[in-house]
Amino acid sequence: MGTGRQTRQRSAILGKIREAEGPLSIAQIHERAGGEIPRLGIATVYRAVKALREGGEIVAVELPGEEPHYETADRGHHHHFRCRVCEQTYDLGVCPVGIPRGTMLPGGYTVEDHSLTLYGRCADCVA
């Protein structure tokens, strides 16, 4: 396989991650990019995700009890909502945690960052 093909595959995979409403698992990336790239193998997706992470273009999102999901690194500070019915993860446009970086908590803990995932039903699954 030549470099051109790898670049096209990587570019298509990054495009699918970028256009998603929230972070995607490897299986979701494979499914979405597979429609655009004939015969896309799961190993190719793993290699592309590894290269995109090493290049700083995407980051891993850790969801408790699940494999890592991936989103573009340029999304800034945000949190996630995980639907328990359809198992999709969505970006939230708001930060419901009013604790800025540098805040000193009781016990001498200094806040450097935070990550929050809310769980429930998305709009489609409530209906």
CATH code, residues 77-126: 3.30.1490
Q: Which residues of the chain have pLDDT under 70?
A: 1-5
Model confidence over 86-108: pLDDT tens digits? 988 998 888 888 888 899 999 99
The answer to whether the CB of 11 falls within 8 A of the CB of 3 is: no
Specify binding-site residues: 77, 83, 86, 114, 122, 125
Specify binding-site residues for Fe cation: 77, 114
- Give the per-residue pLDDT at 42: 95
3-74 CATH fold = Arc Repressor Mutant, subunit A (1.10.10)
pTM above 0.95, yes or no: no
Residues 6+ apart with CB under 8 A from 77: 95
Residues 6+ apart with CB under 8 A from 29: 13, 16, 17, 45, 49, 70
Specify binding-site residues for Zn(2+): 83, 86, 122, 125
> Which pair of structure tokens corresponds to residue 85?
């019915």
Provide the residue ranges of all domains of the chain, joining segments of one domain with +.
3-74, 77-126
